[in-house]
Amino acid sequence: MRLLVGGVTVLTTATGDEKRGMTATAVCSLSAEPPRVLACINMSGEMFRLVGQSGALTVNFLGAGHEDIAMMFGGARPSDDPLDRLQWVEGSNGAPRFSEAVAALECTVADVFPYGTHAIVICDVQNIETNENPHPLVYVNGRFEHLAAADHRKLDPQ
């Protein structure tokens, strides 16, 4: 599984005064019509509890240069409240949205399917925000990487 390349995201949610974020690579597109994504969240964590209470989450896609942010929300570096240390705005769904994300999907929870230690959370995308950073951050084989554009001339069989 270490060789499975995943886009690096920070999932965020909020309810009342409580806000939470977590780094996740188990996020993918589910449907174009209606626009839906799924995210896998450990059921023993605070994030799962808060998503259940709020019924909303935002998928913040990180870009090149955001490795420290991924580490903050991944628990690899101690941080009292990483949400207070970064530039966030409140999204249309009430969840924090990272201002510098490559893209952010503001979602409401449509359904939850427990499976083993995690839950598959199906989300309806309510709003999409994008930025100019075209270089997404990915995670593969235990480390962060950046993507480079392929030389399409080499791919053209003509």
CATH number of the domain within which 64 lies: 2.30.110.10
Mean pLDDT by 10 residues, the chain (158 residues): 88 93 94 97 94 97 93 71 81 94 97 97 97 86 83 64
C-beta of residue 122 within 8 angstroms of C-beta of residue 110: yes
Q: What angle do CA 106, 110, 113 make, to 5 degrees?
A: 120
Q: Which structural domain range is residue 89 located in?
A: 6-26+46-107+127-155
Tell me, what's the pLDDT at 154? Answer: 65
Tell me, what's the pLDDT at 68? Answer: 92
Amino acid at 136: P
**57 in a structural domain:** yes
Tell me, what's the pLDDT at 76? Answer: 56
Three-state DSSP class for residue 112:
strand
**151 in a structural domain:** yes
CA-based end-to-end distance of the chain: 36
Tell me, what's the pLDDT at 156? Answer: 61
